[in-house]
Every structure is written in C-alpha cells, then in structure tokens.
Amino acid sequence: MTLARSRDDLAAALAVDDRTGAPRAVAMTMGALHQGHFDLVTEAARLVGPGGTVVVTIFVNPLQFAAGEDLEAYPRTLEADVEGLVSILRAPDGEDALIVGRLIVFAPTPEVMYPDGDPAVRVDPGPIATVLEGATRPTHFAGVLQVVLTLMHLTRPRWALFGRKDAQQLAIVRAMVRDLAVPVEIVPVEIRREADGLAMSSRNAYLTAQEREQALALSRALAAGREAARAGADAAGVRTAALEVLEKAPGVEVDYAAVVDPDSFVDLSGAGLGLPGGSVQPAGAVELAGPSQPVGPVLLALAAKVGTTRLIDNALITCGGPVA
C-alpha cells in the first residue's frame, strides 16, 4: 500500500504504471469508509485484475459544503480507512499480499488539492444540478465536479467508480465526462444496505438509536414505490405511494420524493421537482424538458431529514403503467 499525501507522491506512484502499462481504476471518497465504499474498491479490483492498480482518494472536499453544513464535523478516520482498504484487498493466502498489483491511497490536504486557494476556473454542472439535491444545496454539485475532474486529471484512471446511492451525482459526473470528453469510463456500483434496509452512508453515524429506526422510513418508501409499480402504477402513482409512507413516518421531515429519468433527471411524475406534493419550482430551478413516456427504469429519489441529519435514498424502478 502506498499512502500519497502530496501530488508529487501520487505522481511518483503512478509513474510505475506508466512504465508497466498496468490498468488503473479510481474510487473517490471523502473517507469514513464503510461497506458501500469497499464495494467500489472491490469492483475496482475486479476491473483492474491481479496486476492492476486501485487508487482510492480520501478527501473531505470543502468546495462541496455550503456554509452551515457539516464540513468541520464530517468524520475523518484516515488510519482506520487505510486499514480497512488493506484488509478488503488482502489476498486470502498472503499476510501482506493484495489481490491487485498495487493499492494507492491519495489523501491530500485542502492545500495540496487546491494549491492556489479557491480555484479561479470552475466546472459548471449544468441544469441537472438545479433540481432535487441542487435545489437544497445550490453550490454542491459544482464543488463535486471541481474535485472529481481535478482528481481524474491527477489519477488518470481508465475506470472511475461511483455509487448509485448518490444518483444525481452519478448522472452529473456522467454528463461531465460526456460533455467534456474526459477519457475515463464511469462505472456505477449498487447501493449497499444494512440488513434492515437502511442505505449505508457516512452520515448515518450522526443518527441516534431512535432516529436510526425512524430513518428506515426511506427504504420502506422505496419498497412502497416498487410495489405500486408492480401493481401497474405509473410514475405519478409510484411517487404518491412512496410519499405517503414518508409523510406518515414519525420523526421524518420530507424534503422531496421524485420520479425522474435516471440520466437527464427530467421529472416523470408531473409533480414538479423538489417539492413534495407540489408543482411549484424551487427558486432558480430549471424544469427540464423531456419525454412523457419513460424508456427503461425510472429513478425514485427521496430526501428527508431525520433529526438534524439529511438522508437520501433511491431505487431504479420499472413502471407498470403509462405515464400521464
């Protein structure tokens, strides 16, 4: 395992691949790693094979946090993260041997990541970033893309893995790679859930025992949406079924329930984006125009506050009926 704290350390570690031609995949994280992150790493290992290199970046990116969000409180657990990564990639028969050629952990400070202070040139995430998560966190996705694109340039991977849990982030990263011709293949990885259905998230650590129980309303709402689709509901019916569960759940303050196209984030339910039960657009939001009939699965996306913790979850669902 190579722990790179500077850009020079990272460049030196990557130069080995440049000489050998070893394939490389990157999993970008903000640390506080859990099984959901380890799934990205395992998939990265599968893609690169026994001679390849897996790069895991660990960086709590200030640019994607707005004032008043949890930048300072965000858990930072580098030592445990590195131990976890080594153990997840350890070969079954070797003390120190890994199932890949090399593991590189890039854990820069903000000064290493942004050596000239706030970057002057910015990536514009486009219209998808104005709705749902973007309505509540208007600067978030610009900050995400800034760090993702910079990390792609620094790590030069063939594959970059992103979890489906952050479905809007995945769609926006894919759009950036397409629109800016970034030479990398984006690989989505399924949501990892606890045995009781709660989607894994580093922010689950903020939940009290009671809130953790209440948070199960999100996965129950997804199940209700899926069930409605199975019974023939269209996108609007799927959304209503999920919203009903969330609205009835004690301790849960709904931010949104939406049914959208998973790539374009076009609203498919006719309810308007960002507001539960309403059709009014949040200030600054763009109503994305798109087909009235979904081709392929739709994305049921939920966000709710449980206590002071804002949680998101989603599921890809195949609707049974036509969309109004």
Q: Rounded to the nearest 5°, which phi and psi values hold at 49? A: 75, 180
Does 113 sit near ligand PAF (CB under 6 A)? no
Question: Distance of alpha carbon 162 from its chain centroid, rounded?
Answer: 6
* Contacts with ligand PAF, 64-103, as mask; x by CB under 6 A: x---------------------------------------
Stretch that binds ligand PAF, among 144-152, 181-189, 264-272, 313-321 (CB under 6 A): 144-152
DSSP 157-207: -SEEEEETTSHHHHHHHHHHHHHTT-S-EEEEEPPPB-TTSPBP-GGGGG-
Does 161 sit near ligand PAF (CB under 6 A)? no
Cα torsion angle, 148, 151, 156, 157, sign: negative
Considering beta carbons, is residue 145 or 224 the nearer one to ligand PAF? 145
* Contacts with ligand PAF, 194-233, as mask; x by CB under 6 A: ----------------------------------------
Catalytic site residue 37?
A: yes
- The rounded distance, in Å, linking the Cα atoms of 34 and 109 is 21
Q: Which two tokens stand for residue 20?
A: 């050998």
Binding residue for ligand PAF, selected from 10, 17, 25, 29, defined by CB under 6 A: 29
Binding residue for ligand PAF, selected from 42, 53, 61, 204, defined by CB under 6 A: 61
Considering beta carbons, is residue 169 or 214 the nearer one to ligand PAF? 169
* Residue 42 C-beta: closest distance to ligand PAF, Å: 17
Report the amino acid identity of residue 69: E
Stretch that binds ligand PAF, among 18-26, 93-101, 141-149, 260-268 (CB under 6 A): 141-149
Considering beta carbons, is residue 132 or 144 the nearer one to ligand PAF? 144
Q: Which two tokens stand for residue 27?
A: 């999993």
Per the residue annotation, which of 34, 37, 140, 153 is the catalytic one? 37
By the 8 A CB rule, do 153 and 141 touch? no
Q: Which two tokens stand for residue 4?
A: 């790179």
By the 8 A CB rule, do 303 and 310 touch? yes
Does 166 sit near ligand PAF (CB under 6 A)? yes
Residues in CB range of 158: below 8 A, 6 or more apart: 23, 24, 25, 47, 184, 185
Residues in the chain: 324
- The rounded distance, in Å, linking the Cα atoms of 84 and 51 is 21
Does 147 sit near ligand PAF (CB under 6 A)? yes
The residues of the shown chain that bind ligand PAF, judged by CB under 6 A, are 28-30, 61, 64, 144, 147-148, 166, 169
Catalytic residues: 37
